Amino acid sequence: MVSYDHYRVFCCAARHHSFSRAAQELMTSQPAVSRSVAALEQQLQCRLFQRTGRGIALTPEGRRLYEAVAAGCEALEEAEGVMAAARAMETGAVRIGTTELAMRYVLIAAIGQFQRQHPGIKFRVSSHSTSAALDSLQEGEADLAVAPAPVNASPALQQEVLLSFQDIFIAGRPFSELKGQTLPLRALEEYPLICLTPDTSSRQFLEQLCRRHGLTVSADMEVTSADLVLPLVREGLGIGFLPQLLAREAMAAEEVFPLTLREPIPRRQVCLVTDPARPRSRAAEGFLAFLRRGQWG
C-alpha cells in the first residue's frame, strides 16, 4: 500500500514543476521531497518526472498518475482544512432547544459574546416549552437544552444550574389599593389572575407554589408567551405572574407594581441539560464549556 504522504508530495511537485518549491509549500527540505518521489517511483516501478531546463516535468506515466490522484489529494487536503478549522473553533454549528425565558436570561447574552470570539460558529436556536426543548435534545435535534425549572428530565440526561431568578406577582393601577400591603397568597384568589398556559414551566412552578399552601390555581386568562402577561396587567385586566426581569422597566416607570406576599416565593433556576450518551460537535462542546464558565453573565 502506497503512503498517502508520497502521493501528496508527488502532486505538490507536479503542480509547481519544482522539488524546491514543493518543499517550501510542504515546509520540508528538497532532499526529503526527492526521497519521497523516489520511494513512490520504486513502489510503482516507473519514472514520474524528467529533468528539463526549467526544472522538472511529468513523464507520460506521471501525467496519468497525476490525473488519477490529484482530485483525491485535493479533497483530502480540503477535508483536513475543514477539520483543522473546526478544531480551532473557526467553523461549526450549535443546535439549542430552549424557551423564551431562558433566551432572555441566558442565551441572548451568551450567544452574542461567544460569536464575537468565534464568528465562524453558527447557531440554530429553537424556542419551545420546557418539555418540547427536552424532547428536541432526546431526539437528537439539539446538542443541548437551556430551560427554566422545574425540568422534568429523564434520569439519563444531565442537569446543571446556570443561574437563579425571581418570579413575582404584579398589578396595575386598577388594583392600587394592594400597593404597600403584605398579602397572604390566599388573598389573590379574590382577583383575576393572568398567567402562562399549563404546559409551561412558569405555570407548573406557580401550581406547585399554590399546592404547597393548600391552594389551586384558577387562571382567568392564560397566554402562551410571557411577553403577553405584562401588557394585559398594564391594561388592568388582572394580576400577573411572571419573572421579575420581564417587569423591571414597567415597574421603574410605575406602570405596574409588585405585590408583597406573606409567603416567600422561592427563586427558580435556569438549567443546562445535556445528553451524555450523544456525541457533540467541537463547536457544541466549546459553547458548553463557555456556558459552564459563566463568562456570559
Looking at residue 223, its amino acid is: V
At residue 29, the 3 state secondary structure works out as coil
Q: Are residues 262 and 173 in the same domain?
A: yes
Q: Are residues 273 and 211 in the same domain?
A: no
Q: Which residues pair with 270 in a beta bridge?
A: 148, 163
Structural domain count, the chain: 3
d(CA 162, CA 272): 6
Q: Are residues 42 and 181 in the same domain?
A: no
Q: Are residues 243 and 128 in the same domain?
A: no
d(CA 271, CA 106): 10
CATH label of the domain that carries residue 120: 3.40.190.10
pLDDT at 86 over 70: no
* In the block, residue with C-alpha cell 497525476: 66
Q: Are residues 64 and 193 in the same domain?
A: no
Q: Are residues 153 and 277 in the same domain?
A: yes
Cell numbers linked to 112 = 452574542
Q: Are residues 227 and 159 in the same domain?
A: no
Percent of the chain with pLDDT over 90: 44
Domain boundary among 36, 54, 87: 87
Looking at residue 145, its amino acid is: A
Alpha helices in 171-278 (DSSP H): 201-212, 226-234, 244-252
Cell numbers linked to 34 = 526527492
Q: Are residues 158 and 289 in the same domain?
A: yes
d(CA 233, CA 240): 6
Calculate the average pLDDT of the chain: 87
List, in order, residues 6 or more apart from 164 with CB less than 8 Å away. Answer: 267, 268, 269, 270
Q: Are residues 96 and 213 in the same domain?
A: no
Q: Which residue range is the domain that position 9 belongs to?
A: 4-87
Domain boundary among 67, 87, 107: 87
Query: For the chain, what is the largest distance between any 2 Cα atoms, rounded to a whole number of angstroms?
Result: 100
Q: Are residues 258 and 113 in the same domain?
A: no
- Higher local confidence (pLDDT), 253 or 128: 253
Cell numbers linked to 236 = 388592568
pLDDT on residue 227? 86
Q: Are residues 254 and 274 in the same domain?
A: no
- Higher local confidence (pLDDT), 110 or 7: 110
Other CB atoms within 10 A of residue 166 CB: 12
Cell numbers linked to 120 = 465562524
Q: What is the mean pLDDT of residues 268-291?
A: 90
State pTM to two decimals. Answer: 0.64
pLDDT at 296 over 80: no
Q: Are residues 156 and 275 in the same domain?
A: yes
Alpha helices in the chain (DSSP H): 4-16, 19-26, 30-44, 60-87, 100-102, 108-117, 130-138, 201-212, 226-234, 244-252, 282-293
